[in-house]
Structure 1
Amino acid sequence: MNVDELVRDALREQAEEQSPLGAGFADRVLAVRRRRRNRTVVGVAAATAAVVAVAVGVPALSGGGEEVRPASEMNKSDIIAHPDQSPPRNMIAAGDTALAAFFVYDSVKQPNGDNIRTRTYGLLDQKTGKYSKVKWAFLDVAPGMRTAAVLEGELPAKRIGLLDMITGKVDRWIPVDHGVASVEFSPDGQKLLATTYSRNPDRNFADHPQKVNGKEQPGPVASRTGFSVVDLDSGKEKWNKAPHWKDESGFFFNSRDDFQWSHDGETVWSDTGEEPFKEFYDLNGDKTGIPESERYVSHAKAGLSPSGKLIGGEFAGRGEEISSEIVDARTGARVTTVPGQQLLAWADDERVIAWGCDPKRCSGKGEFRNQLILLTIGSDKVVQLSDFRKASADYPGRWEPVFAERWS
């Protein structure tokens, strides 16, 4: 990085510190311009890229005392790991990506015999750099991690909240005409993809029983109606009809079948039970073919790397080996494997975050003994980001991560 770039960064940070937290703060946050994914870590962070941070600095106040800098900006270490924490209490991050939130499931019986699979979230508090238990039924975090989109329970919700991750308060509510049960920020942070349902997709109904191991219990109901693309600047919602995929006999897989953004944000997709197992729509609600860049993307959560050249692929282990494949996005050919069980998110073009375990620590311990780890393509190096997954008093279940782009 040259001197001019360093000066520009310094001026930008100074301007951010002096900006008052006015009424339009949420809108400014959500108008985030996505940071170039190939930006390198600078200054001290570059010199200490391999250092594991064990604490997040106290956020600084501007001269007027009106704005708190986000904890994710205060600690710019390349790797922030807490291998002694599970569920995590302090912020975890690697490269361009941070653990913005996590959640656990709990099945709650209802008086009428139904049961609801509820989520309990731990959301990053950008004032403290710690994860705080929050009440929302569903949430997602915007690039830059200043804002979360939140839904109230019971789902489907009739409005979407835009929550300030520093104050912990909803700055703005966006009413919607169709009940929403999931939200996902677009890659540029300027739109929300909301999957709409007529019933709660997390509720199993006593009057629609299913047999499990020969015993009847409440069963799922397919109720997806479509998806909405919500413009965050105007709050306008464009709804598109897109019911559940079902085979000829009416069979469907899951009552929750949320839409997801493609890598470039030009299309959205959901699962099907027939090849090619994904169904793509443009933002006007018309079905499209599979985008060329997505042709070889599997259901592994990592998906395309930031540059779009590699794919975090499926489990590739044999016997006691635990590994997953890295795939060439142009050809679909395997490039290499990495020692991870499930690839979750890219830290940058050369590193990927996964569920897994350093082979030296858990060889032969089984697939369910796993932790967040950072893997480097072409290397056997494993960096432990969290402790092994387990429940706690506050989070009674195995936690699942919600990642977000770390910088705006």
Structure 2
Amino acid sequence: MNAEELVRATLREQAAEQPPASPGFADRVLAVRRRRRTRRFAVVAAATAAVVAVAVAVPLLDSGKSDVRPSGIVRQHGITGHPDQSPPRDLIAAGQTALAAYYTWRTVPQTDGRGIGVRTYRLLDPATATYVKDSRWAFVAVAPGLRTAAVLEQNLPVRRIGLLDLATRKIERWIPVEHGIGGLAFSYDGTRLLATTYDGNPDTRAKAQDIKGGWEWAPAFDTSTRTGFYDIDVASGQGAWTGVGSDRYTPPRDDFSYSRTGDQVYAQIIGRRDGTQQFYDLDGGKTAAPANERYLRTDVDARLSPDGRLAALGLTKEVAPGKSYSSIRDPRTGKEITKIRGGHLLAWADDRRLVAWERASSLDEPYRARLVLVTIGSDRIVPLSGVQKEMFDELKAWQPVFARR
């Protein structure tokens, strides 16, 4: 399928009327417990805790019009951009994806040339459509629907997971665990939570020499080892821990993520080709990648399109400031279908549009970029954020966290 055929097919699909989900859909989804595998044990949960409903948004394709909505007007599948804001203060969203949170990063010195990397989050307030600072959490993952976030307290690794109501900013339930947790990721449908376990803080930093002969903070490879993961049912709080030992290529932080179907998990392998991924089954055994994820890369966040027919791959060329291109490929064959604007593809807005970082500086200057919406088959971009001027300055840069709405 070439780019022209792809666009025609997508437009035909978008023209078909799609009814909205019936009331209570998310609650019914969460009420059905998935079939557990034979080897498991329960994660201890408070007996009197109420079940937290994680809203799962049912994606409906947008008409494709690039209309930037005024501040304060939020459409479920429209575009809300703030090209004058960096970091953003007000909601940024496009199609079925939204900037659910973002964080800044700083290294807090400890002793002997060591430090701890600390994130400070700004979380989306659904009521005001603004981002509100919340410094309580060391790690945040936002569930589809933008109502619930899974959070970890400071001083990783920790032995409980909080389920945070984004509207009230209150913890609705704690899930205690036996192994220390350092990272979190929701499944694609939001009904399961993957918690990566470590025997030390995965964000420990060490002083290292930089390319100019000075020094900088870098990951400390000798202080933290990934030990495995929990696969947790969000509605019940039950799950199983699986041990997965680190190998010599594993960095201090190398969190697991779910495959699209949730039947497998994967993590990055450092030391080989950048973006290399290793898949595991839910019992911790190494396995081949799913057929439609074989050619994906861990360093390209967007990965599969919502319908699973397209794969977002890495930067292919930079023509000029504000004009770079990435590859869109067939996920099963790895064959390139077309190129699309954008230097780093972050999230799919629908089956033909993506949110991306787009370079705003010359090729001879330090890298600066802004969030933009790009479209397959078009060279047009829609700015979503202001220019981030200090992409690699840990005291000034902000890192986006996207979730389906």
Give the 3 Å change call, closer, same or farther, for CA 238–291 of structure 1 in structure 2: same
How many correspondences in the alignment?
Answer: 358
- Who is 2:12 aligned against? none
Matching residue's letter, 2:51: D
Contact 1:34 1:189 in 2 (8 A): no
- Who is 1:92 aligned against? 92
Q: Per-residue displacement from partner, 1:54-112 (whole Å, max 9, x unpaired)?
A: 3225xxxxxxxxxxxxxxxx643510000000100001000010000011111111256
Counterpart CA distance in 1 for 2:83 and 2:208 is 41
Give the 3 Å change call, closer, same or farther, for CA 26–89 of structure 1 in structure 2: farther
- Who is 2:380 aligned against? 381
Structure 1 regions of 5+ residues with no counterpart? 16-23, 58-73, 247-251
- Who is 1:249 aligned against? none
- Who is 2:116 aligned against? 116
Give the 3 Å change call, closer, same or farther, for CA 368–288 of structure 1 in structure 2: same
> 1:12 deviation in Å?
7.0
- Who is 1:64 aligned against? none
- Who is 1:174 aligned against? 175
Contact 1:302 1:345 in 2 (8 A): yes
Q: Kindly indicate whether residue 239 of structure 2 is the aligned counterpart of residue 237 of structure 1.
A: yes
Q: Kindly indicate whether residue 260 of structure 2 is the aligned counterpart of residue 259 of structure 1.
A: no
TM-score, scaled to structure 2: 0.80
Contact 1:26 1:164 in 2 (8 A): no
Counterpart CA distance in 1 for 2:76 and 2:124 is 16
> 1:319 deviation in Å?
6.0
Contact 1:371 1:385 in 2 (8 A): yes
Q: Kindly indicate whether residue 51 of structure 2 is the aligned counterpart of residue 27 of structure 1.
A: yes
Counterpart mapping for 1:223-372 below 5 A = 223-246=225-248, 252=249, 254-272=251-269, 273-274=271-272, 277-299=276-298, 300-317=300-317, 320=320, 322-357=324-359, 368-372=367-371
* Secondary structure in structure 2 of the residue aligned to 1:322: strand
- Following TM superposition, the consecutive aligned residue runs of length 4 or more in structure 1 with deviations greater than 6 angstroms are 1-4, 213-218
Give the 3 Å change call, closer, same or farther, for CA 178–317 of structure 1 in structure 2: same
- Who is 1:79 aligned against? 79
- Who is 2:142 aligned against? 141
Q: Kindly indicate whether residue 53 of structure 2 is the aligned counterpart of residue 53 of structure 1.
A: no
Give the 3 Å change call, closer, same or farther, for CA 318–131 of structure 1 in structure 2: closer
Contact 2:310 2:329 in 1 (8 A): yes
Counterpart mapping for 1:130-209 below 5 A = 130-135=130-135, 136-204=137-205
> 1:160 deviation in Å?
0.4
- Who is 1:60 aligned against? none
Structure 2 regions of 5+ residues with no counterpart? 1-14, 28-47
Contact 1:26 1:147 in 2 (8 A): no
> 1:230 deviation in Å?
1.2
Q: Percent identity?
A: 41
> 1:180 deviation in Å?
0.4
Q: Per-residue displacement from partner, 1:132-151 (whole Å, max 9, x unpaired)?
A: 11111000000001000000
> 1:288 deviation in Å?
1.5
Q: Per-residue displacement from partner, 1:198-228 (whole Å, max 9, x unpaired)?
A: 10011136xxx86666788883324111111
Matching residue's letter, 1:127: A
Contact 1:323 1:337 in 2 (8 A): yes
Counterpart CA distance in 2 for 1:237 and 1:3 is 39
* Secondary structure in structure 2 of the residue aligned to 1:127: coil
Matching residue's letter, 1:374: L
Matching residue's letter, 1:259: F
TM-score, scaled to structure 1: 0.79
Counterpart CA distance in 2 for 1:257 and 1:165 is 26
Counterpart CA distance in 2 for 1:85 and 1:319 is 26
Give the 3 Å change call, closer, same or farther, for CA 322–175 of structure 1 in structure 2: same
Contact 1:315 1:341 in 2 (8 A): yes
Q: Per-residue displacement from partner, 1:300-345 (whole Å, max 9, x unpaired)?
A: 1110111111111111005646211111112211111112111111
Structure whose residues are more often helix by fraction: 1
